[in-house]
Amino acid sequence: MKKITLCALCFAGIVCGCSGHAETATESTTSGIEVRDSKKDEIAQWVAAVQKDTEVLSSLNAPVHQGARADVSEACEDAAVRSVLERRGAFLAETDGAYAQGIEILRSVPDTGAAYVPKHLAEIEALAASVQSGAVPAPFEWTASDSETLVKNLKAVGFSTGPDEAAARASFVAMLKGPECGKILPRYCEYVSELRASQAGRLETEARLDALLACDLSGWAGALRLDYPQNDYKFDRFRKYVSDEAIANIRKEVFLEDMARRGVKKAFEAIEPPDSQYRALLEARKIYVAAIENGGWPKVEAPAKIEEAKLGKSYAYVPGLRRRLQAEGYGISDVESDVMDQPLVDAVLLYRDVHQLSPKKVIDQVLFKNMAVPPETRLETIDLTLQRYREAAVGSLNYYVKVNVPDFHVEVWKDGERQARHRIVVGNDKLQLDPVTKKPVPDPETLYPLHPNRTPLQTSKINEVIYQPYWNVPARIRIEELEPKLAENPNYYAEHNYEEVNVGDPKLYYVRELPNPKNSLGKVKLMFPNPHNTYLHDTPAKGVFNQPMRALSHGCMRVQNPLDLAELILKNDGQWNKSYVDGILRADPAEQVTIELKRPVDVDVVYFNARVDDSGVVAFLSDIYQYDAVRLGKVVLKKLPRPKDWPKR
């Protein structure tokens, strides 16, 4: 019987092209010659499997092509970048197309309206061009002889595949990257050494490109989302004990690790503001940028005297009106006709609606004045709203209630879909006046004029639905509004369904309105804990919901069709019982009934002055509290003198 010798690759079942391979295969299967069972040689099997694993080969090539560690301390002050760079040595080269993706994202930053400007983009682009134009080194690849060398040397050093396959491969890669490389596969060590010598300049360029790109991307990630701990609820409990700067740094380190692991685009997708309005506004923003580039809106010649517009009649201003509406995306196709037709009327009414103009007229001077607002001003509003979305947590939860104060609407969102949208009334903007001097009263903390009825911006959780509610009258409203009426009519409380509580105890005394058909809170209120004692509630004054501007309350939010909103909240909570609720609402006399939610729903009360309407056009809302004007520097708040009778702070 002829003795047959198998090379390691043949033994592992890999066709390697060595002499006698075919003969060996034939004789080993036909002559009955005994060969060792491959299952008994685990190292050989393991090596054969490793050489088929593309991730292992990619890992061996990665440190070679990532280059040397870059010292960019003079250019990048980002602590997170320095920290991760110290651990990793590089960020982006492990992912395909990372440099191109990163540069594309930095180039798109101006399209977001953000204040952030990449510091190193020009140098990054130059470095990338240099790397791209240079010769690309050939990657390390397995050869036939490597298998036999690895099997022999791994046995010699006592390498064990162990039960954990992933750990064994990681250990194997670490050995080849480390000082034991020469004992395991000298050819790989020589390849790395020769490559580094021949590619020294390229590697230094790649290292600097990698670090500077990571620095600018980290800066943009901070401006986009990570520099504002208030936009992530999970940081709320830590903010008393850890500075915002420290939280931002932690978030950036996590982002940088994610970027290195999954790629630039995926890392940025994970931190983009989650509310769907953010992406919609980014897309709509292009209309206003284009209008600015074109020199402004098409001119509309408004007549000195405007008569009531009638369908089918021609007007000189109509062609300009058509072009103006078309420029802002209102779906006007015919821009030459001077006839007031139904499509034009519909477009004008939509414009009036989303700009909170009165629907009582189609054409008036208010319309032309509003249309004259330049695209630069509109773009400012969009960009500030985009920034507010970056700073806010709204949309980050699967189920939440969104109250947008200048929009005068409340929305319920679940699973990425809007379940409901209701009109609301919000707090008025009246100043607090001294009852004696009639002069504005300063805020005790800021000394700015006090607006006590503004609806507070806040986040909380709706935890109760209360039917037939009492209204516990706030002390300020009782003193300023009810007690003067009581002074004129001692029976005022009894005649108007109010009752006094804890009359004998000044500290606990208050007045409340009893449940009744004319109760100020109507038939239901939705409570959420907050220091301002504000909530969502019904109202007997239904006519106010027809007004486009609805800043009329003392701070709470009156809801149109609130019973429908309460029903939806209870259905989502698994507690809706129509017959039970109907019984509460029919009861005579009415009695307050509270239903506690099993799963309180988050509520965000926000201030966003632009939104993309369901029709696709941008709604520009009224800056009712001048928060945008103050932030944009168009209004400068002035502090009031501290009253002499106030205690010194």
pTM for the structure as a whole: 0.81
Give all domains of the chain, ordered by start, each with its CATH number. Answer: 8-55+140-197 (no CATH), 71-137+199-272 (no CATH), 297-373 (1.10.101), 404-470+515-627 (2.40.440.10)
Does 2 score more than 70 pLDDT?
Answer: no
- The predicted-structure confidence for 563-615, as pLDDT tens digits, reads as follows 999 999 999 999 999 999 999 999 999 999 999 999 999 999 999 999 999 99
Q: How confident is the model at residue 194 (pLDDT cuts 50, 70, 90)?
A: confident
Question: How far is the CA of 405 from the CAs of 110, 274, 361, 559, 562, in angstroms?
Answer: 28, 19, 25, 12, 17
Torsion of CA 419, 423, 425, 429, to 10 degrees: 100
pLDDT of residue 85: 83
194 or 44, which is more confident?
44
Buried b / exposed e over 74-99, threshold 16 CB at 10 Å, is eebebebbeebbeebbbbbbbbeebb
Q: Provide the greatest CA pair distance for the chain.
A: 126
Contacts of 105 (CB under 8 A, 6+ apart): 217, 220, 264, 265, 268
Neighbours of 586 (CB within 10 A): 8
Q: Would you state the structure tokens that stand for residue 112, as one six-digit string?
A: 């977001």
Q: How confident is the model at residue 149 (pLDDT cuts 50, 70, 90)?
A: very high
Dist CA 279 CA 274 (whole Å): 9
Dist CA 538 CA 525 (whole Å): 6
- The predicted-structure confidence for 107-118, as pLDDT tens digits, reads as follows 999 999 999 999
- The predicted-structure confidence for 89-102, as pLDDT tens digits, reads as follows 777 765 668 889 99
Helix ranges (DSSP H) in 294-395: 318-327, 342-354, 365-371, 375-391
Q: Would you state the structure tokens that stand for residue 541, as one six-digit string?
A: 């004054």
Q: Which residue has the tokens 């682009």?
A: 125
Q: How confident is the model at residue 29 (pLDDT cuts 50, 70, 90)?
A: very low
- Nearest Cα residue to 559 out of 625, 515, 568, 275: 568
Dist CA 223 CA 587 (whole Å): 55
Does 462 score more than 60 pLDDT?
Answer: yes
Omega of the bond prior to 506 within 30 degrees of 0, cis? Answer: no
Neighbours of 29 (CB within 10 A): 10
Render 16-49 in DSSP notation, one character per residue. ---TTHHHHHHHHHHS------GGG-HHHHHHHH
Contacts of 61 (CB under 8 A, 6+ apart): 139, 140
Dist CA 262 CA 94 (whole Å): 9
pLDDT of residue 371: 97
Question: How far is the CA of 374 from the CAs of 300, 328, 378, 379, 573, in angstroms?
Answer: 12, 12, 7, 9, 46
Question: How far is the CA of 56 from the CAs of 59, 170, 464, in angstroms?
Answer: 5, 8, 57
Q: Give the amino acid at 68.
A: A
State the Cα angle at 522 between 518 and 523, rounded to 5°.
120
Helix, strand, or coil (residue 603) = strand
Mean pLDDT of 307-320: 94
Q: For residues 423 and 550, is the Cβ–Cβ distance under 8 A?
A: yes
Render 61-111 in DSSP notation, one character per residue. HHHHHH-SPP--TTT---HHHHHHHHHHS-SSTTSTTHHHHHHHHHHTGGG
Does 28 score more than 50 pLDDT?
Answer: no
Q: For residues 389 and 273, is the Cβ–Cβ distance under 8 A?
A: yes
Helix, strand, or coil (residue 236) = helix
Q: For residues 398 and 414, is the Cβ–Cβ distance under 8 A?
A: yes
pLDDT of residue 408: 98
Q: How confident is the model at residue 202 (pLDDT cuts 50, 70, 90)?
A: confident
pLDDT of residue 14: 35
Mean pLDDT of 278-293: 98
**393 CA to centre of own chain:** 7
pLDDT of residue 204: 80
pLDDT of residue 346: 97
Strands 524-527 and 458-467, how do they pair?
A: antiparallel
Does 540 score more than 70 pLDDT?
Answer: yes
Share of the chain above pLDDT 90, in %: 73
The DSSP code for 538 is: -
Mean pLDDT of the chain: 89
- Element counts in the chain: helices (H) and strands (E): 25, 14
- The predicted-structure confidence for 394-425, as pLDDT tens digits, reads as follows 999 999 999 999 999 999 999 999 999 999 99
Mean pLDDT of 326-335: 95
